[in-house]
């Protein structure tokens, strides 16, 4: 009877997933919640989930839970590109929702990076095929953003909007845990692992013109670095160990 039971649960979860109730990359209810909903033990529920994982329909991450399996968006760190461009190249449909648009005094960190007193701060949610993919905050010197509107940043990237030629960027990537507010927007449990990326973009003269913070749910993206062979080193250029942070 137990064998039939876990297969029945698996079949119902498969149906709900294929009907779109649980979209690609979307988290499922916790094992405890599923156990209560189906009136079955957690052992039985886990067997059903593991069966669907073996079929390639579901996947799991420690600290996150079970989710509908999705092809990870691979972001190359070898070139300066926007999230939207890489999403489109991978066949996903990009979308952005502007959550905040405000000209504000720069906080100490932003002031130290951009060297200005006033900035435009934009916070947005990026989606891939309708699912939250990244939470992004961008700071731009107020003089470069003076003519921009909320509709401008909703329809195009800063790389397309600011009136300067871009030279390059430095990106720092680390691991973090989602706050309650960020988790709500990204539709993941509070404390879930996220990739935290800070990027400083400069113009052709080396002046910082954009500072951005990107939060990616760890189960939906990965970063790829090309490592050319170096005769005297076994580490990629720019790789450093950060201590005490």
The predicted-structure confidence for 104-158, as pLDDT tens digits, reads as follows 999 999 999 999 999 999 999 998 878 888 999 999 999 999 999 999 999 999 9
Q: Which of the pair, 140 or 171, is modelled with greater confidence?
A: 140
For the record, the structure tokens of 16 come out as 């709900």
Q: What percent of the chain has pLDDT over 90?
A: 37
Q: Looking at per-residue confidence, does 113 or 24 come out higher?
A: 113
2-68 and 73-224: identical CATH topology: no
Q: What is the pLDDT of residue 5?
A: 87
Between CA 230 and CA 218 the distance in angstroms is: 30
Beta bridge pairs of residue 130: none
Instruction: Specify whether domain 73-224 bears CATH 3.30.230.10.
Output: no
Tell me the pLDDT band of 73, cut-offs 50, 70 and 90.
low
- pTM, 2 dp: 0.70
Report the distance separating Cα 179 and Cα 56, nearest Å: 30
Q: What is the pLDDT of residue 19?
A: 82
Token pair listed for 191: 């404390």
Least confidently predicted of 20-34, 58-72, 79-93, 224-238: 224-238
Tokens representing residue 221 in the block = 């993206």
- 169/129: higher pLDDT: 169
Position 143 scores a pLDDT of 96
Position 234 pLDDT exceeds 60: no
Mean per-residue pLDDT, 26-49: 88
**Does CATH number 3.40.50.300 belong to domain 2-68?**
no
Residue 240, pLDDT > 50, answer no
pLDDT band at 244 (very low <50, low <70, confident <90, very high): very low
| Mean pLDDT along residues 190-212 | 92
**What mean pLDDT, rounded, does the chain reach?**
83
Label residue 129 left, alpha or beta by phi (over 0 means left) and psi (-120 to 50 means alpha): left
Domain boundaries, the chain: 2-68, 73-224
Of the two residues 64 and 237, the one the predictor is more confident about is 64
142 close to 120: Cβ distance less than 8 angstroms: yes
């Amino acid at each position: 009877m137990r064998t039939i039971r876990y297969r029945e649960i698996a079949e119902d979860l498969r149906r709900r997933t294929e009907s779109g109730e649980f979209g690609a990359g979307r988290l499922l209810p916790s094992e405890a919640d599923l156990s209560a909903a189906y009136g079955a033990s957690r052992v039985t529920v886990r067997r059903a989930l593991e069966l669907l994982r073996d079929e390639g329909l579901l996947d799991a991450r420690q600290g996150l839970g079970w989710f509908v399996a999705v092809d990870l968006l691979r972001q190359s760190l070898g070139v300066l590109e926007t999230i939207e461009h890489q999403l489109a190249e991978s066949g996903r449909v990009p979308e952005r929702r502007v959550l905040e648009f405000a000209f504000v005094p720069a906080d100490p960190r932003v002031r130290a990076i951009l060297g200005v007193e006033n900035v435009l701060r934009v916070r947005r949610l990026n989606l891939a095929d309708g699912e939250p993919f990244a939470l992004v905050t961008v700071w731009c010197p107020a003089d470069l953003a003076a003519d921009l509107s909320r509709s401008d940043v909703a329809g195009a990237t800063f790389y397309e909007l600011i009136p300067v030629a871009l030279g390059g960027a430095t990106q720092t990537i680390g691991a973090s845990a989602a706050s309650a507010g960020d988790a709500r927007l990204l539709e993941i449990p509070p404390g879930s692992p996220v990739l935290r990326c800070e990027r400083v973009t400069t113009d052709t003269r080396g002046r910082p013109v954009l500072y951005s913070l990107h939060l990616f749910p760890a189960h939906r993206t990965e970063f790829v670095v090309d490592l050319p062979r170096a005769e005297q080193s076994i580490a990629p250029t720019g790789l450093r160990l950060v201590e005490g942070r």
